[in-house]
Chain A
Amino acid sequence: MLPKASAPTSTRNETPLGVGPAQALGLYRKLLLIRLAEERIRQEYFKDEMKTPVHLGIGEEAIPVGVCHAVPEGSACFGTYRNHSLFLAMTQDTDRFFGELYGKSTGPAKGKAGSMHLTAPEAGLMATSAVVGTTIPLAVGAALARAYRKEPALTVSFFGDGAVEEGVFWESLNFACLKRLKILFVCEDNGLAIHTPAASRVGFRSIPEALGGFRAQVASGDGSSLTTVIELARGLMSRMEEESQPGFLHLTYFRFLEHVGPLEDFDKGYRRKPTPEEMERWDPVSRFEKDLDDLGVGGEDRQRVRQEVLAQIDRSVRLAQAAPYPGVEELHTDVWA
């Protein structure tokens, strides 16, 4: 379980975003939880105990943390194989997270899903998938179900920029716009499909421009900044409400590591290494630390949160390592309801 956060020592008040020091520290905890969990995977991975391909989210953290903060409680979310950030942003449950990565019975799918298919339906994370674009229509279907039952809740679909090249994205967007569904499409744009840059893949000027003819509200911005993500998501949701249209939130970010695996790959020749200034600008944790400075959330609070998060992760990794594998009977269970 997540350790209880104690009240921050700062006394300063809210930012224009309505994020006060206590909430800001809570958001910082989520960013750090994701970052430090991913860093722990990098440390552990070459022991070959986590037998699952890992698509790490270092650089991506602010998008799921910010969007999940901005959307109403009870929103259903759908994601991709790069889902560690989303899973942890929604659950903060590192016990089950590491359980699944280690293939243990303590994982949310008892080890049957692994890193690429983490789900937590009870927390609203309905499905993630390793085939690009495949959860987008599911999100539209979930939004349709909510409209069918006249429920006000929102559905959120997270996907990468590569998914926009899949036909099913356009099929899904078209149907959502046709039915005026309450769905927020969130495009996490790192400019790469595995190792292929957008310039080698697309025949349109930009993703927001390509959406021009659809009856949807569109916003675009810097996904490395948590405050920007929250601000854009909130603004977009109020326009969605006014116009009764789906929303499309396009957020850029920098993928710090290789497509899959724990290493940097700037020496592979398909992209250059960022300068130290760029690294800092694209690092969501550093970026948010500047906002914390402005809010007066001091180093002592941050240090305490860091220690708590590290302790939580360490405990979860040990638990996962010690946990049993699923029994042989599990091979054939969960095929049929």
Chain B
Amino acid sequence: MSGPKETAVKRSMTFREALNLALTKEMEADPSVFVFGLDVPDHKRIFGSTAGLLEQFGPSRCFGTPLSEEGMTGVALGAAISGLRPVQVHIRVDFVLLAMNQLVNMVSNLRYMSGGKLKVPLVIRAVIGRGWGQSAQHSKSLQGLFAHIPGLKVVLPSTSQDAYGLLRAAIRDDNPVIFLEHRWLYDVSGEVDLAQNPGSGGPVVRRAGKDLTVVCTSWMNVEAMKAAEILAKRGVSLEVVDVRTVAPLEIQPILDSAAKTGRCIVADYDWSFCGFSAELAAQISHAHWGRLAKPVERLGFAHVPCPTTRPLENLFYPSAVDLIRTAERLLDLAPMDLGGESFYSYEERFKGPF
């Protein structure tokens, strides 16, 4: 090995730095990896996550594109079946919708339709979630929509460690991976063990508890950790499970947690109706029929387009407060006074780690 030795294998870094390091390491390790998408090499570098790639690897391995989402996804697919490992980046997941024809008719099907002859090592990174009044077209997550399609892997990291480990694993995967990054997570710092293997990328317990399980995707992990911290003050012990990979779903760790606590909330950062939370609630309820103390509860986006104005936007997205109130209902507890608690807001930015 050349280059400086990792004096400390564990380092604290932000989510964006972890993504950036993962890209850099994979591009260093494999010349067939390239990163492209609108604004990937501009001065902002996708929230800083693609910083330095152009300078280190040159314009053939890090480049911007025309405003042609469908065409560029097809280009990525054509490059992937020709032996390259493209990482396509969308600064809003809402723009991936322009490429749904390629994703649903081509990317997801090509291996099956070729009788297993073709491999599709393709990563599509997309920025999801809430911003400063981003409204209906810059605010979605859509993991439920993507996960509905057989042949697409759907991954939502929520820590710096997973931003690093799961992105590296996604790039090394021979299947198409939709990698969804919540923009609020970019500023969150956490310890990253550079040597840690993300394993299957399946669900992990973020906080062990005994009274109630909260199964979370993406930013809901942050909200759930906050809710757990506050509920602990009144002696309620929440177990927080981070799904990490929505598709293909590894259900067993989630079932194990629900069996242990007997109560379960699915907190999915997406619309609830016909969504991933419904899938989880169905699988948990089916597996544990008659053994749960209460029916599985679901928290997700209100079934409306995302509004801009803050008071309505606050109602649209599920929060730690919603989790606390739902947990109290499931545990037959009176609502506690939250007057003294401070929750995440734009004005008081979360610094992390969890």
- Which of A's residues lie within 8 Å of B, judged by CB? 76, 78, 107-110, 112-113, 117, 119, 121-122, 126-127, 129, 131, 134-146, 148-149, 167-168, 171-172, 174-175, 178, 333-337
Contact = CB atoms under 8 A, between A and B. Distances in A.
A80 B216 CA distance: 42
B82 interface: yes
Contacts of B106: 127, 129, 131, 134-135, 138
A146 B82 CA distance: 8
B81 A127 contact: yes
B114 interface: yes
B72 A175 contact: yes
A138 B110 CA distance: 11
Given A140-B71, A168-B68, 6 more contacts: A110-B115, A127-B114, A137-B74, A137-B102, A168-B101, A335-B111
B240 to A, nearest CB: 29
A104 B81 CA distance: 25
Contacts of A126: 78, 81-82, 118
A271 B102 CA distance: 33
A131 B121 CA distance: 22
Given A141-B80, A337-B119, A337-B174, A171 B111 contact: no
Contacts of A129: 105-106
Contacts of A337: 111, 116, 119-121, 174-175
Question: Which 4 A/B pairs are nearest by Cβ-Cβ distance?
Answer: A141-B78, A137-B74, A171-B71, A109-B115
Contact of A172 (B74, B113, B118, B248): B74
B115 A112 contact: yes
A333 B114 CA distance: 11
Given A137-B74, A148-B79, A168-B71, A335 B151 contact: yes
B70 interface: yes
B84 interface: yes
Contacts of B118: 119, 121, 126-127
8 contacts: A137-B71, A141-B76, A148-B34, A171-B66, A172-B74, A175-B68, A334-B115, A337-B119
B352 interface: no
Nearest to A333: B116
B66 A174 contact: yes
B121 to A, nearest CB: 8
A335 B84 CA distance: 20
Contacts of B102: 134, 137, 168
A293 B193 CA distance: 75
Contact of B110 (A127, A139, A175, A333): A127
Interface of B: 34, 60, 65-66, 68, 70-84, 86, 101-102, 105-106, 110-121, 150-151, 174-175, 248
Contacts of B112: 109, 112, 334-335
Contact of B75 (A109, A119, A141): A141
Nearest to B83: A145
Contacts of A141: 74-82, 86
Contacts of B105: 129, 131, 134
B119 A113 contact: no
A334 B72 contact: no
B34 A137 contact: no
Contacts of B68: 168, 171-172, 174-175
A168 B116 contact: no
B123 to A, nearest CB: 14
Nearest to A157: B78
A158 B72 CA distance: 18
A123 to B, nearest CB: 11
A145 B120 contact: no
Contacts of B82: 76, 126, 141-142, 145-146
Nearest to B174: A337
Given A109-B114, A112-B115, A134 B76 contact: no
A167 to B, nearest CB: 7
A203 to B, nearest CB: 21
A311 B110 CA distance: 33
Contact of A144 (B75, B110, B119): B75
Contacts of A168: 68, 70-71, 74, 101-102
A148 B75 CA distance: 13
Interface centre among A119, A135, A168, A333 (most CB of B within 10 A): A168
A320 B105 CA distance: 28
B144 to A, nearest CB: 19
B101 A131 contact: yes
B297 to A, nearest CB: 32
Contacts of B76: 141
A134 to B, nearest CB: 5
B65 to A, nearest CB: 7
A126 B248 CA distance: 26
Nearest to B71: A171
A98 to B, nearest CB: 15
B20 to A, nearest CB: 22
A140 B117 contact: no
Contacts of B248: 336
A145 B79 contact: yes
A168 to B, nearest CB: 5
A134 B114 contact: no
B94 to A, nearest CB: 18
A134 B103 CA distance: 10
Nearest to A144: B79
Contacts of A140: 71, 74-75, 78
